[in-house]
């Protein structure tokens, strides 16, 4: 019993930095995982990835002027994310190029630019901080920011839920009954950027999208309705956060990758064992009902 306590609870009870890390990660799951579900359902999984890269130069400019400070880097990241999202959207609407190609072009430029700017002032250690985050070093500013982003996301998601579902399920129908389609799309993209920026301090620009997409992709194998899918994704994300932090503590692993890898294991298990996963699918294939 004590061994179980030592393993599961002691790290969080004894150390303030572990409590902060846990709180930050759980709050992030609460807002990022539902966003991930909608990104996946709109076939924009890779867009999330691209947006995560796009944040980098903005954060890097913040770093260039203020060092490793959360507020300037966040604001910089937010601006860069919005510019790239709007830029890629504009290119796809105004030219013959589709959004995936313009998005790829923008994020590759952004990534190279970001790494360049960080290197001008910082060391490789700083670069690692920006790219992969430091969930164990979340300070009060960072936690407040994450909580704020989580609140905004949940409120807007509740308000626009019906429009977002309609826009995903049947966009042409939504256009025929309402003018909300385009605004909802931009609110949604804005929230994606906001959540990536929120995850950036904890998990870095490259990994923050992992907490968004992996639980969502895993939840797809368990649910057949979008609401439950969001709840299951959040639960999987939270479980992965706890497991990842514990592994990182006991085995001295870097915390960000430990969390994302835990989510990755959840994804692989769901793919195999989920109610709509490979195993169930196989079993069902050789049995059928009379009607």
CA atoms of 265 and 121, how far apart (whole Å): 37
Nearer to other proteins by C-beta: 26 or 165? 165
> Within 13 A of 130's CA, how many CA atoms are on the CB side?
34
Q: What angle do CA 140, 155, 264 make, to 5 degrees?
A: 70
- Which of 3, 172, 251, 291 is close enough to bind other proteins by CB under 8 A? 172
Q: In this structure, are residues 197 and 204 in contact, taking their beta carbons and an 8 Å threshold?
A: no
- Which of 93, 121, 162, 284 is close enough to bind other proteins by CB under 8 A? 162
Site map (CB under 8 A) of other proteins, residues 202-221, x = contact: ------------------x-
Concatenated DSSP letters of 66-80: HSS-HHHHHHHHHHH
Collapsing DSSP to helix, strand or coil, 21 comes out as: helix
Segments in 170-287 forming alpha helices (H): 171-177, 181-219, 226-251, 255-273, 278-285
Site for other proteins in 91-150 (CB under 8 A): none
Nearer to other proteins by C-beta: 121 or 162? 162
From first CA to last CA, the distance across the chain in angstroms is 52
Q: Choose the binding region for other proteins from 56-64, 112-120, 160-168, 267-275 (rule: CB under 8 A).
A: 160-168
- Which of 23, 41, 83, 231 is close enough to bind other proteins by CB under 8 A? 41
- Which of 178, 243, 254, 265 is close enough to bind other proteins by CB under 8 A? 178
CB of 172 to other proteins, least distance (A): 4
Nearer to other proteins by C-beta: 171 or 254? 171
Q: Does 290 bind other proteins (CB under 8 A)?
A: no
CA atoms of 117 and 76, how far apart (whole Å): 13
For residue 37, CA distances in Å to 118, 156, 178, 200, 277 come to 32, 15, 24, 19, 17
Q: Does 173 bind other proteins (CB under 8 A)?
A: yes
- Which of 165, 187, 231, 243 is close enough to bind other proteins by CB under 8 A? 165
**Cα-to-chain-centroid distance, residue 62:** 21
Q: Does 154 bind other proteins (CB under 8 A)?
A: no
Q: Does 155 bind other proteins (CB under 8 A)?
A: no
Using CB under 8 A, list all residues that contact other proteins. 41, 159-160, 162-163, 165-166, 168-178, 180, 220, 223-226, 229
């Amino acid at each position: 019993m004590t061994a179980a306590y030592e393993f599961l609870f002691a790290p969080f009870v004894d150390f303030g930095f572990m409590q902060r890390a846990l709180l930050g990660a759980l709050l992030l799951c609460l807002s990022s995982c539902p966003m991930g579900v909608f990104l996946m359902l709109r076939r924009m999984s890779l867009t999330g990835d691209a947006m995560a890269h796009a944040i980098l130069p903005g954060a890097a400019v913040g770093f260039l002027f203020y060092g490793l400070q959360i507020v300037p880097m966040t604001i910089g990241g937010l601006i860069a994310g919005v510019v790239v999202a709007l830029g890629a959207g504009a290119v796809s609407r105004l030219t013959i190029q589709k959004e995936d190609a313009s998005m790829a072009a923008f994020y590759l430029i952004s990534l190279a630019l970001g790494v360049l700017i960080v290197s001008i002032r910082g060391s490789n250690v700083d670069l690692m901080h920006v790219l992969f985050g430091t969930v164990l070093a979340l300070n009060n500013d960072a936690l407040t920011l994450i909580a704020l982003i989580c609140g905004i996301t949940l409120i807007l998601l509740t308000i626009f839920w019906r429009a977002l579902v309609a826009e995903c399920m049947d966009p042409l129908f939504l256009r025929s009954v309402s003018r909300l389609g385009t605004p909802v799309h931009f609110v949604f993209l804005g929230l994606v950027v906001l959540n990536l920026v929120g995850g950036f301090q904890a998990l870095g620009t490259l990994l923050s999208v992992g907490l968004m997409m992996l639980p969502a992709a895993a939840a797809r194998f368990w649910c057949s309705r979008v609401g439950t899918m969001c709840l299951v994704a959040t639960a999987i994300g939270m479980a992965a956060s706890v497991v990842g932090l514990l592994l990182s503590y006991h085995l001295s692993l870097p915390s960000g990758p430990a969390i994302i890898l835990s989510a990755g294991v959840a994804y692989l298990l769901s793919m195999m064992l989920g109610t709509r996963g490979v195993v169930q699918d196989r079993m069902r294939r050789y049995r059928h009902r009379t009607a």
